[in-house]
């Protein structure tokens, strides 16, 4: 089936454009984005926090040994660094979300303008780009979860009101939360680049179709 045949059938042209771009974006995302490997990542995060603590005060921990309090995973200094790093990645995710929303608005505006002079293949491609950009927005929201009072009460119940066990689990969950937010930020940044590339390609196809 030739491109001219597809272009002459509006519904088919739209679907081909939509699925071509969607498959490209999801496939590239699957190949390039980071995946969650909690246990291995937790071990490397402990070493990373320990290294940060060592750089903060080399005389205090010259051999990078973590001096934890009781049953906790991290030392007080490492825990302080963990909370600081969490604040930074949360701020970065908020900025990335703010950058993603205008992309959704711009892509929607372009699609509405194309309705006037329809090119259904380009409209389908832009619709696929828009769907992926909206997914990135919800992906960012998924990474904005907060370990609050509700989570603390659940941990208390699960650990039979043992404060030491609850504190250890809270610290572990905070470390997982940091890893998840860093992974979501890196994936979201790569996703935004993919959306921009797809948007440029879609507009280029629209320009070509308007040439005599």
Specify the pLDDT at position 118. 63
* pTM given for the model: 0.74
Structure tokens at 149: 């009072």
**Other C-beta atoms within 10 Å of 157: how many?**
10
Average pLDDT over residues 71-94: 88
| Whole-number Å distance between alpha carbons of 115 and 109 | 10
Mean pLDDT taken over the chain? 77
Specify the pLDDT at position 34. 65
| Whole-number Å distance between alpha carbons of 48 and 81 | 10
| Whole-number Å distance between alpha carbons of 128 and 198 | 9
| Whole-number Å distance between alpha carbons of 162 and 117 | 67
């Amino acid at each position: 089936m030739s491109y001219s045949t597809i272009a002459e059938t509006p519904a088919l042209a739209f679907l081909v454009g939509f699925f071509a771009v969607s498959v490209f974006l999801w496939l590239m995302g699957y190949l390039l984005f980071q995946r969650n490997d909690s246990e291995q990542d937790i071990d490397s995060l402990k070493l990373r926090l320990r290294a940060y603590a060592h750089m903060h005060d080399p005389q205090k921990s010259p051999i990078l040994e973590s001096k934890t309090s009781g049953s906790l995973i991290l030392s007080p200094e490492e825990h302080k660094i963990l909370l600081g790093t969490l604040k930074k990645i949360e701020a970065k995710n908020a900025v990335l979300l703010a950058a993603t929303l205008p992309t959704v608005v711009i892509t929607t505006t372009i699609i509405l303008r194309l309705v006037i002079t329809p090119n259904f293949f380009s409209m389908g491609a832009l619709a696929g780009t828009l769907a992926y950009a909206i997914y990135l927005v919800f992906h960012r929201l998924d990474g904005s979860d907060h370990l609050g009072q509700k989570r603390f009460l659940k941990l208390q119940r699960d650990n039979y009101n043992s404060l030491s066990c609850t504190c250890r689990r809270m610290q572990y969950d905070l470390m997982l939360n940091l890893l998840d937010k860093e992974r979501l930020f890196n994936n979201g940044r790569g996703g935004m680049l993919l959306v921009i590339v797809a948007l440029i390609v879609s507009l280029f196809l629209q320009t070509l179709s308007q040439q005599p």
